[in-house]
Amino acid sequence: MSVTPDASRQPATAARDSGVEQASRFEAVIGLEVHVELNTATKMFCGCAIDFGGAPNVRTCPVCLGQPGSLPMINAKAVESAIRLG
């Protein structure tokens, strides 16, 4: 039993092209994902305070905890601040 290379699976032109020619076939698309903390007194989807410190899990509500049936309400100041950021 012998194994022969399958010519149809080889990139015939890529092996001959220079690196620049290969790179010219691609377009660089760069995206940025930015995480910021807006200057709001409450969380984004509920009225819980966002103060730091204190005991764990005291500033929570059904919305924060993702309990079924809880209805989030968007923080208008956060939306306004995000729009101002652009």
Q: Are 45 and 72 in contact (CB under 8 A)?
A: yes
Among 38, 44, 50, 61, binds Zn ion (CB under 5 A): 61
Q: Are 11 and 46 in contact (CB under 8 A)?
A: no
Among 50, 64, 72, 81, binds Zn ion (CB under 5 A): 64
Among 48, 50, 72, 77, binds Zn ion (CB under 5 A): 48
| Interaction of residue 75 with Zn ion, rule CB under 5 A | no
- Other residues' Cβ atoms within 10 Å of the Cβ of residue 38: 15
Q: Is 22 exposed, middle or buried (0-12, 13-18, 19+ CB in 10 A)?
A: middle
For Zn ion, which is the closer residue by CB, 13 or 67? 67
For Zn ion, which is the closer residue by CB, 38 or 64? 64
Q: Are 73 and 45 in contact (CB under 8 A)?
A: yes
Number of residues binding to Zn ion, judged by CB under 5 A: 5
Site residues (CB under 5 A) for Zn ion? 46, 48, 61, 63-64
